[in-house]
Amino acid sequence: MRSPNLVKMVSGNFVGVVLLVEIIVVMMSGCRFEANGLSMDYYFRSCPILDPIMKNTVFGALQADPTLAAGLVRMHFHDCFVEGCDGSVLIDSTNDNTAEKDSPANLSLRGYEVIDAAKEQLERMCPGVVSCADILAMAARDAVIWAGGPMYEIPKGRKDGRRSRIEDTINLPAPTLNASGLITIFGKHGFTVEELVALSGAHTLGVASCVNFKKRLNDVDQNMDADFAKTLSKTCSSGDNAQQPFDATRNSFDNLYFNTLQRKAGLLTSDQTLFADSRTSGAVNGFALNQAMFFLSFQRAMLKMGALDVKDAPDGEVRKNCHKIN
């Protein structure tokens, strides 16, 4: 008769092997990935030094300030959910146009200087070749890797958009949304419920300001642990700009975020609703139990997000300066 512990061990090892094989298949298939004019080897001839420049720039910046990892991932997300992944979030406002970056939803974005540093080097080595949209997508990928998340490759070839308007940021999901609202918004972009939960897992990095969650304290949110509510009240006693980490490992990419949701210690309404709603709680529990499963789902969802509404000529360009249209 087999020992229950032996069966559990064999079962666990089998799941691990299956996930490892699946990850390898994803990575191998990723090398051939082409969609919307994107490809893994897009800059193979025109700028072969692209990857080393990006990794050196991003890793160097994160070594100096680890909190920028969250900023770069969030910036890529905010770029892709508004007019597609076209670098429009990088464009500065002008006298006759208020750009996306000056929307209240984007005022806390960080990491612009990392994108600028990479662009400056690439313009010296490969002038007029690498788009700001691709630089941002690669910076987000490298930030995830640096923070201990999954290693994955992304297709390239995005062109930079020529439109950046504050009114378009209405498409960004608000921190006060419940599961129904999140499912609707993410569904419009073609994401499944599992992909929605996986992308939300990027909140394993970073912090949020009190202004984004204090309403939960005023309304006595029943989905919040009582001790955690006291912690947030203490944080907010310092004002609306006081910050609280999403989980205990704010600079590490792991699955602790999902364990936090299980303890009813999710920071934003849009976080805790994922565990409170039966449509999303299954994915939360699965990712909390198995970090490898979360990593695999996250990298797949990031590949999908990175291909949203990408621009190509004549609808896009390669900006010389990421902050303004050519």
Pick the closest to residue 74 from 89, 63, 62 (CA basis).
Answer: 89
78 is catalytic: yes
Q: Report the run of H or E that residue 207 belongs to, with start and end.
A: strand 207-209
Cα–Cα dist 254/260, whole Å: 12
Identify the three-state secondary structure at position 245. Answer: strand
CA 133 to the chain's CA centroid: 14
DSSP character at residue 297: H
Q: Using CA atoms, how far apart are residues 312 and 220, in angstroms rounded to an integer? A: 48
**Alpha carbons 277 and 35: distance in angstroms, whole number:** 33
The tokens for 55 are 């990794």
Closest CA to 132 of 154, 160, 157: 160
Q: What is the residue-wise DSSP string for 253-286?
A: -SSHHHHHHHTT--SSHHHHHHHHSHHHHHHHHH
Report which DSSP code applies to 92: P
Task: Using DSSP bridges, classify how beta strands 207-209 and 243-245 pair: parallel, antiparallel or unpaired.
Answer: antiparallel
**Per annotation, catalytic residue among 76, 78, 189, 203:** 78
Cβ contact 39:155 at 8 Å? yes
Q: How far apart are CA 274 and CA 97, in angstroms?
A: 36
Give the residue numbers marked as catalytic: 78
